[in-house]
């Protein structure tokens, strides 16, 4: 079979031109795909580093929270034992009282012959404080009450 020569080469030229353009487009697409794959690999590495950093921080925070919870439990236990051991220092209104009196109050009571180390009776205290002003008497009585010495 013999090929007949084409009288018009235009379709052949158009087809060749189209093939060249398709080939060029395929090359551009392959280059774009390669760039996308490279960028994906870079991003994947970045994501893995970020995930590792976050997991490390999370583990560190979990350890720190556990340490702090342990410390809180210890402090609560200490607080409970201190509260249980200091019930003797609780005054009439249920709050922890002061164990000592201010020096001026102790000196004032000593001048009247009242010992500040033992519970003071109200009647004896009123007689001893008779020479003071009402404000001074109230101040002395409130200090004795805070110290748990007023009975």
Q: Write the DSSP assignment of 36-63 as a string of letters.
A: HHHHHHHHHHHHHHHHHHHHHHHHHHHH
Same domain, 117 and 78: no
Same domain, 16 and 61: yes
Same domain, 110 and 140: yes
Q: What tokens were used for 97?
A: 């009282």
Same domain, 34 and 76: yes
Same domain, 122 and 70: no
Q: What's residue 98's pLDDT?
A: 53
Q: What's residue 91's pLDDT?
A: 45
Same domain, 77 and 113: no
pLDDT in tens, 28-73: 999 999 999 999 888 888 888 888 899 989 999 999 999 999 999 8
- The number of distinct structural domains making up the chain is 2
The residue range of the domain holding 114 is 103-147
* Position 2 in a domain: no
pTM of the model: 0.34
pLDDT band at 109 (very low <50, low <70, confident <90, very high): confident
- Residue where one domain finishes, among candidates 56, 85, 114: 85
* Position 5 in a domain: no
More confident residue, 99 or 108: 108
Same domain, 124 and 68: no
Closest CA to 103 of 146, 131, 140, 142: 140
Report the chain's terminal Cα–Cα distance, integer Å: 136
* Position 40 in a domain: yes
* Position 53 in a domain: yes
* Position 4 in a domain: no
* Position 110 in a domain: yes
The rounded distance, in Å, linking the Cα atoms of 150 and 80 is 27
Same domain, 16 and 60: yes
Same domain, 71 and 133: no
pLDDT in tens, 115-149: 666 666 777 777 778 888 888 888 888 887 777 77
């Amino acid at each position: 079979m013999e090929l007949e020569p084409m009288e018009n080469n235009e379709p052949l030229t158009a087809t060749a031109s189209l093939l060249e353009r398709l080939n060029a487009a395929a090359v551009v697409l392959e280059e774009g795909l390669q760039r996308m794959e490279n960028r994906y690999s870079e991003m994947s590495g970045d994501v893995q580093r970020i995930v590792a950093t976050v997991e490390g921080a999370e583990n560190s925070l979990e350890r720190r929270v556990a340490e702090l919870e342990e410390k809180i439990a210890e402090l609560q236990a200490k607080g409970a034992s201190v509260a249980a051991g200091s019930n003797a220092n609780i005054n009439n209104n249920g709050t922890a009282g002061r164990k000592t009196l201010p020096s001026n109050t102790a000196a004032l009571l000593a001048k009247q012959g009242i010992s500040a180390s033992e519970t003071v009776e109200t009647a004896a205290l009123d007689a001893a404080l008779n020479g003071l002003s009402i404000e001074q008497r109230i101040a002395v009585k409130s200090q004795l009450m805070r110290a748990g010495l007023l009975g």
